[in-house]
Amino acid sequence: MSGRICISGSGVVSAVGIGKQESLKALLEGRRGLSAPRYLNTVHKNLPIGEVPLSNGELKKRLGLPENETIPRTSLLAMLSAREALQEAGMPGGRKAFISGTTVGEMDIKERSYLGEGNPAEGPQGCGSSSNRAADYLGGFSLVTSPSTACSSAANSLILGSLLLQSGEFDVVVAGGSECMSRFHLNGFHSLMIVDPEPCRPFDATRQGLNLGEGAAYLVLETEEHALSRGVKPLAYLDGWGNACDAYHQTASSEEGEGAYLAMTKALSMAGLRPSDIDYINAHGTGTPNNDASESRALFRVFGEKMPPVSSTKGFTGHTTSASGSIEAVFCLLALREGFIPGNPGFQTPFEGGVVPQEQSVPAPGLSHVLCNAFGFGGNDTSLILSRAL
Amino acid sequence: MKKTSIPCPSPLTQLYRQEVGDYPKFFKMDVLSRLGFLLTERLVGTDENRFQPREDRAVLVFSREGSIANDRHYAESMKDFPSPSLFVYTLPNIVAGEIAIRNKYAGETSAFVMEKYDEEAIFALVKEAFQDPVTQSAVVIWADCPSDTLWDARGWLVDREEL
C-alpha cells in the first residue's frame, strides 16, 4: 500500500439542497428536507420522504439534456453532483475511474414497465446502466463500476476508489453513489415495517423507523502526490476505512453491533488513530429501533464513556440508502472544513443504552478527524475516517 | 485455488439435499442466494473448524443481472401486496450476507455488477480485496441469474498466496 488518499473535490444533492452551499446552509439552520411525496407517484401519500426538490425535467434542464430523453433519475442526480465535484477539483485529466454505488439504479423506469405503465422498450437494462449513463455524460472514464451493497454502497465505492488509486492503475477516481426514489423500494421498506409514518427520530426513545430519501454525492479522490503535482491543495484526507460483515441476519443488525464494531476498529487502526482522536461521528442512525440500538452498542464498545459528539443527519435528508455513505461523507467534509457539528433533527429523549446525539448544529472549529458510518442489509458495515488538511 | 460450478439447468433443492441438508433457511432463499450458497458449500465444506467465527475470509460476488430474477417476483407482488420476504432478496449483495451468516465470516463482503463475465476484471477486484492485510482468503462467486431457470454459476476459493 502506498500514497495517502486526498479529497480534491466534492458534490452533493439531497432533499436539503442542490450543491454544497445549499446543503451547508440547511445543516447549519436545522432545516429538514422531509415532506409528503411530490414527484414519486405512490399510494403512500402521507409517508414523509426526502425528495430532491427538482423534477426530472428541471434536472435535465440544469444539465443541458433534452427534455424528451428517458434517463433514470439516479443518473440525473449522479451527473449533477459528480459535475460539481469535478469542477471543484479543477476538471482533472489522466487515467480516471467512476465508481458509483447504487441499488435502485434505473428502477424508476423499470418499475413502470413491470407495472404495465411504461413502454416495454424501457425495460431492464441492468442495475449498473444508470452509472454508465452518468459516466458517459461526464466523459473521460476508462473504468465504470457499481458496487451494490445496499445502504453501504457509496461508502464502499470510496474504499474501492482508494484501493484503485493505491494500486497505481488510476490517477483520479470519482467515487460515491446515487439513488432515486422508487415505488419498488419504498413499498419494500414499508413491507418490512421499518418506515416511520412521522418524520424520523434517530436515537430517540420514540423512534419508529426511517424515512426514505434520495440523492447523490461524489468525492474526487487522488493520491496526495498526484494532487500536489498538478498544483491542487487537498481539501481533506481519507485516512482510514474498514468493512466488516455482521453475519447475523439479512436485514437486522446484531445486538452487540459486531459488524459495526469491527468496521470502526479497522478504520481506526488503519488511520493509526485512537478512539479519543475522533472529534465527530456521523452515525448511520437510520431511526429504526434495531439499527440505533445496535449502532449505539457498537459505539460504546469502541468509544466507551468518552463518546465524541455523534449525530445522524438522516433527519435532514431521509435515508438515502445506497447514496447515504457518500452524502454523509460530504457532510463530514463540510463539518471539517467549516468547523461545525451537524445536528440530529428529531431527537428529544434518549433510550436506555442509546447514544445521546448532538441535537442542534453547533460551531466546532478545529475538528481534526471525523468518522462516518454506513451500514447495509446483508450485514455489510463500513466506516470511513476523514482527516483535516492543514 | 478451488473451483466449482453449477450447470444450468440443475435441480437445486435436490443438490441441497444431497450435498448439505442441515440448513433449512435454504428454502427461503431466492435462486441467486441458493446458487451462491451451494457453490460456497462445495468450496468450504471440508474446511477444518469450519464454523469458528473468522474475519480473515472475504466474500466477493459478481454478476451481470444482480437480483433481477427475484426483483420481478417482488414487483409482481406489489400489484397485490408487497412481499417483505421477496423484498429482502431484491439486493444483489444479500447472497454475500447469506454466505457470511452460514459460515460466520465477519470479514469484507462485497457485490459488484458488471457488464459481462470477465474473469480478468473479477480477479483484478479480488486482488484489490487482498490489499486489506486482514484478508487471507476469499470466496469468489460469479452468479448471474436473469431468471429462475437460467443461470451461469461459478465459484472459487482463493488464498492470498495464490494471487
Q: What would the pLDDT profile of A180-202 be if each residue is shown by its tens digit?
A: 999 999 999 999 999 999 999 99
Tally Cβ neighbours within 10 Å of residue A216: 35
Of A127, A163, A189, which is closest to B66 when you measure between CB atoms? A127
What pLDDT digit, counting tens, does each position of A309-342 carry? 999 999 999 999 999 999 999 999 999 999 999 9
Whether B63 shows a pLDDT value over 70: the answer reads: yes
Nearest CA in chain A to B66: A127
A268 and A275 Cβ atoms separated by less than 8 Å = yes
**pLDDT averaged over every residue in chain A:** 96
* Alpha-helical regions (H) of A192-257: 224-229
Q: Do A378 and B94 touch (CB under 8 A)?
A: yes
Q: How much is the CA Rg of chain A, to the nearest whole Å?
A: 19
Nearest CA in chain B to A266: B134
Q: What is the pLDDT of residue A122?
A: 66
**A1 and chain B: CB distance < 8 Å anywhere?**
yes
Torsion angles phi and psi, residue A37, rounded to 5: -60, 130
Q: Catalytic amino acids of A?
A: 151, 284, 319
CA distance A298 to chain B (A): 15
Of A128, A187, A245, which is closest to B100 when you measure between CB atoms? A245
**DSSP class of residue B76?**
H
Cell triple for residue A225? Answer: 502526490
Tally Cβ neighbours within 10 Å of residue A169: 15
ipTM exceeding 0.90, yes/no: no
**A127 and chain B: CB distance < 8 Å anywhere?**
yes
A368 and A338 Cβ atoms separated by less than 8 Å = no
Of A193, A245, A251, which is closest to B105 when you measure between CB atoms? A245
Whether A126 shows a pLDDT value over 90: the answer reads: no
Tally Cβ neighbours within 10 Å of residue B19: 11
CA distance A184 to chain B (A): 7
B108 and A250 Cβ atoms separated by less than 8 Å = no
Q: Which residue type does B130 have?
A: F
CA distance A360 to chain B (A): 34
A33 and A14 Cβ atoms separated by less than 8 Å = yes
CA distances from A192 to A147, A185, A245, A256, B83 (A): 24, 10, 21, 22, 8
**A337 and chain B: CB distance < 8 Å anywhere?**
no
Chosen for mutation from A191, A246, A268, A270 (greatest number of chain B CBs closer than 10 Å) is A191
Question: How far apart, in whole angstroms, are the C-alpha atoms of residue B140 and residue B149?
Answer: 22
Q: Characterize the bridge pairing of strands A362-363 and B57-63.
A: unpaired
Torsion angles phi and psi, residue A12, rounded to 5: -150, 140
Tally Cβ neighbours within 10 Å of residue A353: 10
**B51 and chain A: CB distance < 8 Å anywhere?**
no
Of B71, B78, B127, which is closest to A187 when you measure between CB atoms? B78
Question: How far apart, in whole angstroms, are the C-alpha atoms of residue A298 and residue A348?
Answer: 21
Half-sphere exposure of A148 (CA within 13 A, CB side): 31
* Mean pLDDT of all residues in B32-37: 98
A282 and A342 Cβ atoms separated by less than 8 Å = yes
Cβ contacts (< 8 Å) between A157 and chain B: which residues?
A: none
Give strand ranges (E) for A91-171: 96-101, 141-147
Question: How far apart, in whole angstroms, are the C-alpha atoms of residue A370 and residue A384?
Answer: 8
Q: Do B88 and A191 touch (CB under 8 A)?
A: no
Nearest CA in chain A to B103: A247
Of B74, B111, B125, which is closest to A188 when you measure between CB atoms? B74
Contact residues for B48 (Cβ-Cβ < 8 A; gap 6+) = none
Q: What is the pLDDT of residue B5?
A: 98
pLDDT band, very low/low/confident/very high, at A1 (cuts 50, 70, 90):
very low
Q: Do A148 and B113 touch (CB under 8 A)?
A: yes
What pLDDT digit, counting tens, does each position of A41-76 carry? 999 999 999 999 999 999 999 999 999 999 999 999
**DSSP class of residue A115?**
T
* Mean pLDDT of all residues in A150-177: 97
Burial class (CB in 10 A: 0-12, 13-18, 19+), A93: exposed
Q: Do A148 and B92 touch (CB under 8 A)?
A: yes
Q: Do B110 and A156 touch (CB under 8 A)?
A: yes
Question: How far apart, in whole angstroms, are the C-alpha atoms of residue B42 and residue B25?
Answer: 17
